[in-house]
């Protein structure tokens, strides 16, 4: 992980103003039976996603007023820097009571210490203490970890942190009562298949008692849709003979339903049952994404009502808490909390007196995610900087017209009271053509969050999240992968699923069996294939048989109805389109040949491609074009070389190449602008590629250090390139496949 440095290191005395920032103090101050809720966010994968989430968080905080917000932590510390950056935005910039998640397995004690110290320096008083992924035994640990205790050789760690309770104890030992500590619980039982009872509340209970007795202050649950399971869970806890749970706040975890596919996948990953009657309600509208969301709001609102009734019986004197997994999206959760009265109704007097308008957001500080964001902070209160920003905005506006419809102002944040400092993803209301009007009252802000009017359209532009290949500018981009790089299976499961690969043919076999439906999971995907993949299955099998291991793909589609059972999506009476693309790993020697074919003049406007390797070397059709353009000031190959540096550093006198944006899925619907749920571009490709290469490393760790499989997988990781190729001629359904599988 990179090092995170809080922008100001405050001594503990200086944070006394945060005394009421302990969640349990805030809950205790509420009257009996009062509702409250928390909202969970994860650190976006890209710099643009970060900037957009910041505006979204600000809006949601003003409109919805959660009691606190949660910031997730990637298993093994994989998102440590980004999680702390997001926690800083929440706690320090937006003044929200923040609960930082922290996992303890497969992580060094030094990193845990640093996270706790940084949290303290930021004024954070709440930690959700978690285990994270199952601990890997010493032989599976990092080669750099010389003493084999899991701490990277820096003392501590290893066996010290095997369960969440170890972290609870450690926080209490090292920080006393400074932090309010929460722990996780599972209404349907934790799905840890290594124990004989399997998934059951009975198995978890003794350990949950221990966690609370070791010093946990509150409990947050895994998401669930089965209210009967939750009823049993809360009743069992409250009546437990130990008395441990009598007064502990228990927050049920609820996930708004964003799309049919996503909720099925999330429920599977979380081992949460979707009761048949609920599934039937979703099945009835599964072809219409907007209806799925509407039905989802109704389902979640019913669940809130039923849980209220449970809480009124089990803990009548306590305030009633709810936790929402937002997936960084705002519309569905805004509807749910309003419809269920979890937020007080908005009245005129509320707007008049209750909302203190904090005015425009403070200046965005630099959030550099992978060195590629090109984000450069600048004070817009400086006149020169402001003028420069306006000029840049004007230039940008002119340039944008060349791009796809989907990148026009509707995918940018509207800034208030200042010029757009980051014109690539910010715009002023004027530039976006939004009529002037008050946007700072609570009623307005809530309406915006729910998608009303022109500003609402801006707020909810990413409302059709579409798997990994959504829009990298969206705060929700990348959520599909859960809590960071992980195989999502235990070591035992990994070995039984994928055996002990030692040759490229073994890997090809795994990918092909997955494509044929004979293997449910590969390291990069736990999902089966959508029906549309069946239409190109033979071609994908042929690529994999060659040792080009495919991770993602789609066939071309030219204007099918949005209700088409195989390709349809979005509201009824629309038409959908797709460009074919495929993403795959291939050996470096094959990549050199393919790269030469892609560079041919006749391919120039037919395909776009992005390619990278584990070292961060990067090549794309954009860099190739920049290198070839004679009139360019980029000094040709120098620009490509700069881009190939992986960090994207641009030397003096060099001009950055203009990155292309490829809408690969789009839909046209009555009364709506064109919707482009799937966009492939450099920033999203780079963000994903880090994770994709990280998964090779995770897979290698499944086998004993120095074993044939571990060495083979590591060698593959170092050799292969990850390539994404998009074929622009969506009328020619076979074009991409003929190019890849055809002649030299
Ligand atoms: C609200 C919530 C938020 C989450 N946020 C994140 C996040 O930000 N990042 C992330 O990576 N993951 C997160 N997770 C997922 C979590 O890390 C996993 O579910 C993990 O597998 C278990 O974590 P735990 O803290 O419940 O572990 P534990 O409390 O350690 O329990 C894990 C399992 O081990 C059993 N067990 C516990 N102690 C013992 C013992 N001493 N001996 C034998 N068995 C024992 C339990 O019964 C349970 O089956 C979250 C989960 C929830 C519910």
Q: Is the CB of 73 under 6 A from ligand 1?
A: yes
pLDDT over 90 at 118, yes or no = yes
**pLDDT tens digits for range 437-466:** 444 577 777 888 788 876 777 777 677 655
**Torsion angle defined by CA atoms of residues 223, 299, 260 and 689, in that order, rounded to the nearest 10 degrees:** -30
Instruction: Average the pLDDT over each of 474-488, 580-594, 597-611 and give the range with the smallest value.
Output: 474-488
What count of residues does the chain have?
A: 744
Nearest to 270 by CA among 171, 196, 199: 199
Helix (H, G, I), strand (E, B) or coil at 457: helix
**Distance of CA 486 from the midpoint of ligand 1 (Å):** 15
* Confidence (pLDDT) at 46: 81
**pLDDT tens digits for range 184-230:** 999 999 987 656 667 899 999 999 999 999 999 999 999 999 999 99
pLDDT over 90 at 296, yes or no = yes
**Torsion angle defined by CA atoms of residues 121, 122, 127 and 130, in that order, rounded to the nearest 10 degrees:** -80
Residue positions annotated with a catalytic role:
40
* Confidence (pLDDT) at 444: 79
Here the tokens at position 670 are 């009555």
pLDDT band at residue 158 under the 50/70/90 scheme? low
Mean pLDDT on 296-321: 96
**pLDDT tens digits for range 225-252:** 999 999 999 999 999 999 999 999 999 9
pLDDT over 70 at 420, yes or no = no
Go through the domains of the chain in sequence order and give each one's CATH number: 20-354 (3.20.20.220), 383-459 (no CATH), 488-741 (no CATH)
DSSP letter at 91 equals: I
pLDDT over 60 at 629, yes or no = no
Mean pLDDT of the chain: 79
pLDDT band at residue 590 under the 50/70/90 scheme? very high
Q: Is the CB of 514 under 6 A from ligand 1?
A: no
Pocket test for ligand 1, best of 79, 184, 222, 483 (most atoms within 8 A of CB): 184
Q: Is the CB of 220 under 6 A from ligand 1?
A: yes
Question: Comparing 532 with 405, which gets the higher pLDDT?
Answer: 532
Looking from the CA of residue 190, the nearest atom of ligand 1 is 49
Looking from the CA of residue 183, the nearest atom of ligand 1 is 25
Looking from the CA of residue 189, the nearest atom of ligand 1 is 49
Q: Is the CB of 697 under 6 A from ligand 1?
A: no
**Distance of CA 373 from the midpoint of ligand 1 (Å):** 34
Contact 465, 455 (CB under 8 A): no
Q: Is the CB of 204 under 6 A from ligand 1?
A: yes
Pocket test for ligand 1, best of 166, 171, 207, 271 (most atoms within 8 A of CB): 207
Q: Is the CB of 132 under 6 A from ligand 1?
A: yes
Here the tokens at position 263 are 């909720």
**What percentage of the chain reaches a pLDDT higher than 90?**
51
Q: Is the CB of 203 under 6 A from ligand 1?
A: yes
Q: How does 585-604 read in b/e, with b if 16+ C-beta sit within 10 Å?
A: bbbeebbeebeeebeeeebe
pLDDT band at residue 660 under the 50/70/90 scheme? confident
Question: Comparing 360 with 548, which gets the higher pLDDT?
Answer: 548
Q: Is the CB of 72 under 6 A from ligand 1?
A: yes
Residue nearest (by alpha carbon) to ligand 1 atom 37 = 207
**Distance of CA 103 from the midpoint of ligand 1 (Å):** 9
Instruction: Average the pLDDT over each of 324-333, 365-374, 490-499, 579-588 and give the range with the smallest value.
Output: 365-374
Mean pLDDT on 505-525: 94
Here the tokens at position 113 are 């210490």
Residue nearest (by alpha carbon) to ligand 1 atom 13 = 132
Q: d(Cα 317, Cα 310) in Å, to the nearest integer?
A: 13
pLDDT over 70 at 637, yes or no = no
Mean pLDDT on 623-650: 43
């Amino acid at each position: 992980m990179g090092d995170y440095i809080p922008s100001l290191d405050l001594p503990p005395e200086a944070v006394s103003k945060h005394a009421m920032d302990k969640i349990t103090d805030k809950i205790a101050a509420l009257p009996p039976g009062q509702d409250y809720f928390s909202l969970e966010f994860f650190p976006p994968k890209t710099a643009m996603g970060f900037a957009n989430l910041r505006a979204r968080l600000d809006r949601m905080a003003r409109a919805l007023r959660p009691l606190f917000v949660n910031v997730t932590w990637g298993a093994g510390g994989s998102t440590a820097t980004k999680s702390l950056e997001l926690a800083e935005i929440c706690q320090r910039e937006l003044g929200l009571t923040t609960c930082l998640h922290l996992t303890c397995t497969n992580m060094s004690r030094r990193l845990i210490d640093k996270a706790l110290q940084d949290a303290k320096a930021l004024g954070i008083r709440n930690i959700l203490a978690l285990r994270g992924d199952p601990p890997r035994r010493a032989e599976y640990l990092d080669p750099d970890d010389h003493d084999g205790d899991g701490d990277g050789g820096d003392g501590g760690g290893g066996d010290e942190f095997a369960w969440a309770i170890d972290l609870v104890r450690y926080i209490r030992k090292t920080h006393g009562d400074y932090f309010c500590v929460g722990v996780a619980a599972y209404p349907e039982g934790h799905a840890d298949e290594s124990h004989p009872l399997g998934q059951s509340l009975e198995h978890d209970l003794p350990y949950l008692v221990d966690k609370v007795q070791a010093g946990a202050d509150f409990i947050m649950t895994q998401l669930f849709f089965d209210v009967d399971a939750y009823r049993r869970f809360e009743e069992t806890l409250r009546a437990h003979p130990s008395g441990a749970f009598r007064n502990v706040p228990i927050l049920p975890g609820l996930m708004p339903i964003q799309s049919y596919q996503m909720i099925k996948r999330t429920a599977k990953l979380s081992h949460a049952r979707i009761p048949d009657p609920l599934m039937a309600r979703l099945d009835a509208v599964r072809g219409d994404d907007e209806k799925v969301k509407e039905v989802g709001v109704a389902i979640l609102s019913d669940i809130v009502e039923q849980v209220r009734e449970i809480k009124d019986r089990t803990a009548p004197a306590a305030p009633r808490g709810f936790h929402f997994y937002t997936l960084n999206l705002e519309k569905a959760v805004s509807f749910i909390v309003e419809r269920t009265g979890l937020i007080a109704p908005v009245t005129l007097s509320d707007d008049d007196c209750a909302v203190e308008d904090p005015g425009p957001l403070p200046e965005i500080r630099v959030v550099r995610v992978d060195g590629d964001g090109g984000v450069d902070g600048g004070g817009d209160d400086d006149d020169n900087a402001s003028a420069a920003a306006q000029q840049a905005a004007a230039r940008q506006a002119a340039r944008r017209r060349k791009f796809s419809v989907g990148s026009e102002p509707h995918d940018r944040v509207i800034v208030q009271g200042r010029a757009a400092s980051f014109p690539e993803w910010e715009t002023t209301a004027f530039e976006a053509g939004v009529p002037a009007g008050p946007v700072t009252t609570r009623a307005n802000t809530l309406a915006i969050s729910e998608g009303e009017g022109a500003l609402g359209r801006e707020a909810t532009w990413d409302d059709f999240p579409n798997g990994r290949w959504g829009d990298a500018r969206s705060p929700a981009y990348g959520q599909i992968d859960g809590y960071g790089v992980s195989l999502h299976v235990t070591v035992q499961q990994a070995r039984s699923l994928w055996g002990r690969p030692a040759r490229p043919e073994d890997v090809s076999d795994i990918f092909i069996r997955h494509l044929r439906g004979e293997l449910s999971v590969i390291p990069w995907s736990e999902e089966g294939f959508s029906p549309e993949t069946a239409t190109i299955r033979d071609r994908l099998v042929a690529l994999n048989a060659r040792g080009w291991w495919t991770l993602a793909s789609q066939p071309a589609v030219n204007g099918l109805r949005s209700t088409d059972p195989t390709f349809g999506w979005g509201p009824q009476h629309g038409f959908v389109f797709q460009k074919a693309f495929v993403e795959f790993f291939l050996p470096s020697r094959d990549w050199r040949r393919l790269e030469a074919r892609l560079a041919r003049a006749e391919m120039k406007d037919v395909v776009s491609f992005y390619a990278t390797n584990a070292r961060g070397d990067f090549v794309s059709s954009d860099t190739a074009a920049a290198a070839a353009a004679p009139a360019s000031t980029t000094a040709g190959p120098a620009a490509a070389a700069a881009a190939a540096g992986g960090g994207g550093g641009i030397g003096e006198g060099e001009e950055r190449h203009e990155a292309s944006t490829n809408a690969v899925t789009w839909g046209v619907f009555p009364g709506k602008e064109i919707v482009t749920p799937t966009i492939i571009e450099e920033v999203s490709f780079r963000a994903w590629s880090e994770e994709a290469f990280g998964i090779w490393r995770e897979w290698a760790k499944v086998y004993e250090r120095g074993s044939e499989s571990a060495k083979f997988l590591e060698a593959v990781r170092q050799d292969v390139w990850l390539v994404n190729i998009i074929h622009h001629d969506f009328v020619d359904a076979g074009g991409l496949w003929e190019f890849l599988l055809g002649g030299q």
